[in-house]
């Protein structure tokens, strides 16, 4: 028996002994466990704990709260921010994110974000709206450019969140780095966690943290400058993963203010144009080039590719002319 936001489930033999939250998740799998934690769930009219074990014959009433309105201040949306829309349908929108734009509002940052620009164009999923992150299923750092997908509906949001958490997709990045590898391809592994010295920074850890793996392949090298262009494929998705992995292995991303170690390299740069470009420091030379995943509703395999931004193309021209 159900209504739009009310469900009643009776425990049968095959369900006995599992946790309440797992029982409810098995009945309405379109909702995540974190969403279910916010539902009003009672057993035979009495309050329960989600960790309780269900028994045969018990009746559980589940009430799903009304959707919260999107909490982002639309009136402060930067309407002049032009969106480079790679793809859009009724369920998702894919954007080529520019460098220097934050994903969503946060402490000390109320407007001028990508979420607000997308909201000025279309509606986004209400999931995450109370936390100012409507439609967000993954993120790019403020100074990383490239392809990113937003969910326009709650159904698409739930599926995409699962896809990203299970890494059932392909993500490729282009990075310009200091150093010339003596390999054509390499698998870089190592746990990543927050630095104890600087809480704004991630680091490689011998113990703790989360496992992370990046595959890097060499695209171009400029030996005279000691700079290379790499294509990096993420096999996991940790915060700052590519930047941390490459820096820890001796190939920090150019113009990266946190992990780039640029000051120690500037003395070797003799070309005035390249030196000026690096000193300008427009943000790390990292670009999310390719995103491949199945459509959250239709299941169709999709591949999106975002062209290099102007600054990375300019850097490449400088290097090729040297």
Task: Please tell me the chain's helix, strand, coil percentages from 3-state DSSP, rounded to the nearest 5.
Answer: 25, 30, 45
**Are the CB atoms for 97 and 304 separated by under 8 Å?**
no
**Are the CB atoms for 273 and 202 separated by under 8 Å?**
no
> Catalytic: 141?
yes
The catalytically annotated residue of 141, 143, 256, 311 is 141
Instruction: Give the distance from CA 18 to its chain's centroid.
Output: 32
DSSP 12: -
* Nearest-angstrom CA–CA distance, 20 and 55: 10
Close Cβ partners of 160 (under 8 Å, ≥ 6 residues apart): 92, 137, 149, 151, 293, 296
**Are the CB atoms for 278 and 255 separated by under 8 Å?**
yes
What backbone torsions phi and psi does residue 121 show, to the nearest 5 degrees?
A: -100, -40
* Nearest-angstrom CA–CA distance, 151 and 125: 6
* Nearest-angstrom CA–CA distance, 252 and 232: 13
**Are the CB atoms for 194 and 216 separated by under 8 Å?**
no
Going from the C-alpha of 78 to that of each of 17, 74, 145, 152, 310, the distances in angstroms are: 52, 9, 18, 20, 22
Catalytic residues: 141
């Amino acid at each position: 028996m159900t209504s739009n936001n009310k469900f009643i489930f009776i425990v049968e033999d095959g369900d006995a002994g599992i946790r309440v939250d797992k029982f409810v998740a098995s009945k309405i799998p379109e909702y995540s466990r974190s969403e279910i934690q916010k539902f009003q769930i009672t057993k035979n009219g009495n309050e329960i704990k989600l960790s309780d074990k269900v028994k045969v014959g018990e009746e559980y009433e589940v009430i799903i709260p009304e959707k919260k309105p999107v909490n982002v201040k639309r009136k402060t949306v930067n309407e002049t921010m032009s969106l480079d829309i790679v793809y859009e349908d009724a369920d998702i929108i894919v954007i080529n994110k520019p460098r220097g734009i934050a994903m969503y509002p946060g402490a000390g940052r109320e407007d001028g974000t990508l979420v607000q620009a997308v909201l000025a164009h279309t509606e986004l999923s209400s999931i995450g709206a109370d936390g100012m992150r409507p439609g967000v299923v993954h993120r790019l750092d403020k100074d990383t450019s490239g392809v990113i997908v937003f969910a326009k509906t709650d159904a698409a949001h739930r599926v995409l969140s699962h896809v990203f958490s299970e890494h059932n997709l392909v993500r490729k990045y282009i990075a310009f780095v200091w150093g010339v590898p003596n390999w054509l391809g390499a698998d870089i592994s190592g746990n990543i966690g927050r630095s104890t010295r600087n809480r704004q920074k991630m680091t490689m850890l011998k113990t703790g943290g989360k496992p992370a793996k990046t595959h890097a392949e060499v695209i171009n090298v400029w030996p005279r400058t000691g700079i290379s262009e790499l294509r990096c494929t993420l096999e996991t998705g940790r915060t700052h993963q590519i930047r941390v992995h490459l820096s820890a292995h001796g190939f920090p991303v150019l113009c990266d203010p946190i992990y780039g170690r640029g000051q120690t390299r500037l003395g070797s740069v003799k070309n005035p144009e390249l030196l000026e470009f690096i000193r300008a420091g427009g943000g790390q030379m990292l670009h999310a080039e390719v995103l491949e995943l199945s459509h959250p509703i239709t299941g169709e395999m999709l591949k999106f590719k975002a062209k290099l931004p102007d600054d990375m193309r300019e850097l490449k021209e400088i290097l090729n002319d040297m």
